[in-house]
Amino acid sequence: MERTLIIFKPDAVQRGLCGQILTRFENKGLQIVGLKFMTIARQTAETHYAPHKGKGFYEGLVKFMTSSPVAVVALQGKNAIAIARKMMGATFGSNAEPGTIRGDFGVSNSFNLIHGSDSVEAAAKELKLFFRDDELVDWTPTIQAWIYDMAKGTPE
């Protein structure tokens, strides 16, 4: 099972979309293993977006991400990263397909509602930035056998 970090950005929080977005992930079969509501400290935002330092949008992005509360979520599931990113849609809401989170809720090319880890390596790093180990819960939902075919002992 793979884990990924999802951040409901300030625009999603301010628009009251967190519940609807989280429901989509749960309905898909991704499991919540961590959940936190917080205001991101500037240093944390700078660390998180360090690969973009020096780019024209970096300072505005850090300012935006620290401007209002966010919800950070750790999700788990088979291929959780790829599934979550596909559900999120194209980076800019104006380009995102209907049926995706950004396609259904976004039109802005600046405010894009949600962040999701883009690789296993990024997810591991990002999860450690936003969650202590004891804040992530290992558990098996009773419905897991109805989400994955476990006949071979591993999720199918």
Query: Residue 107 has what pLDDT?
Result: 92
pLDDT over threshold 90, residue 150? no
Over residues 112-134, the mean pLDDT reads 98
Separation CA 73–CA 35 (nearest Å): 5
Nearest to 94 by CA among 103, 85, 84: 103
What 3-state DSSP class applies to 150? Answer: coil
Over residues 112-135, the mean pLDDT reads 98
List CB contacts of 151: < 8 A, sequence separation 6 or more.
none
Over residues 28-54, the mean pLDDT reads 97
pLDDT over threshold 90, residue 153? no
Domains of the chain: 2-147 (3.30.70.141)
pLDDT over threshold 90, residue 112? yes
Over residues 123-146, the mean pLDDT reads 96
Starting at the earlier edge strand, list the strands of the sheet with 2-8. Answer: 31-38, 70-77, 2-8, 114-116
Q: Which residues are catalytically annotated?
A: 115
pLDDT over threshold 90, residue 27? yes
What is the overall mean pLDDT for the chain?
96
pLDDT over threshold 90, residue 39? yes
pLDDT over threshold 90, residue 136? yes
Query: Residue 129 has what pLDDT?
Result: 98
Query: Residue 131 has what pLDDT?
Result: 98
